[in-house]
Amino acid sequence: MMWWLGGGLFLGWSIGANDAANVFGTAVASRVIRYRTAALLASAGVIAGAMLQGSAGLETLGAITPEGLGAASASALAGALAVTLMTLLRLPVSATQAVVGGIIGVSFWTGGVDPAPLARIVLCWIATPAGAMLVALALYQIYGLALRRLPISMLTRDRILWHGLIVAGIYGAYALGANNVANVTGVFYGRGLVASTEWLNFIGAAAIALGILTYSGRVMQTVGGGLIRLDAFAALVAVSAEAVTVHVFAVIGVPVSTSQAVVGGVLGVAIMRGGDLHAKVLRNIGLGWIITPILAAVIGFAGYGLW
């Protein structure tokens, strides 16, 4: 079983190592919470989200995956390799795009994919940053109004924001598990590899949690100033917007990218503040979103052809 799951588990580990920064990176970098505590909270949140609400996404990816364990495993491995290569090139990574790209590449040999769920997924890729940006615009106003109306000192305000970052991080980790567990084991849904969907959820969540616990520290320490520098309030808005957006898509049953969601959240903050975005970073992000599925498709096509 572990042989077939290898590509998915590797991808899950990569998601944990990279995407935990999207939910706890600012809190850790600003010393609001210790890294080890953040890693434990994020791991627990991921497992809870996957076990409680991860099944819908499994069904969506399973519906477009070519039949057979060999094709499913090749799709997952192609996605994992694409994520690794993009990371080495220091370009932003979307695990969802990588997995779907791998599925499309393999499907050239196995008879194509169902266009209906595929179109649904691609549409949600577009909606993710846009939706997170809109949520951030609303939360910026709501949070700002609430803080202005509270008769509190600046010190108390800062404490509220710090604790808010921790709560938002836990919620973001829950949403990450509920949504992204499908990227890890969704291609194996309905293939008879394990006894139940719950086991697929648990295996995928465990792989993500392992990535968080073993290799997310460096990314958490360096996140925060890519597009625009974030203070505690801005970070709370961006992380909350990302968590809400990713959770909504988890309920819908479409796996999306937490990186795309957090970029949308940051863009919403930038619009409210009139801040200058780093054009080069923004360009690289867009480039990464285009290249990732294409690269994974090429790897999947070539790899399965040589299988």
pLDDT tens-digit series, residues 18-64: 888 889 988 887 788 999 999 999 999 999 999 999 999 998 998 89
Question: Of 115-129, 169-183, 269-283, which gets the smallest average pLDDT?
Answer: 269-283
185 CB contacts (<8 Å, ≥6 apart)?
Answer: 5, 8, 12, 58, 200, 201, 203, 204
Question: Between vectors from CA 305 to CA 300 and to CA 307, what angle results, nearest 5°?
Answer: 95
Question: Of 62-71, 72-81, 248-257, 293-302, which gets the smallest average pLDDT?
Answer: 62-71
Rg for the chain, CA atoms, rounded: 19
To the nearest whole number, what is the mean pLDDT of the chain?
89
| CB-CB neighbours of 164 under 10 Å | 21
What per-residue confidence (pLDDT) applies to 90? Answer: 66
Mean pLDDT of 211-231: 72
**Ordered DSSP codes for 182-198:** HHHHGGGTTTTSSS-HH
Residue type, 49: G
Q: What is the pTM of this model?
A: 0.91
Question: Euclidean distance between the first and final Cα of the chain, in Å?
Answer: 18
Report helix angle 232-252 to 55-64, nearest 10: 60
Per-residue burial over 224-235, b if 16 or more Cβ lie within 10 Å, else e, is: bebbbebebbbb
276 CB contacts (<8 Å, ≥6 apart)?
Answer: 228
Tens digits of per-residue pLDDT, 139-155? 999 999 999 999 999 99
Please answer whether residues 97 and 289 qualify as being in contact, where contact means their C-beta atoms are separated by less than 8 angstroms: yes
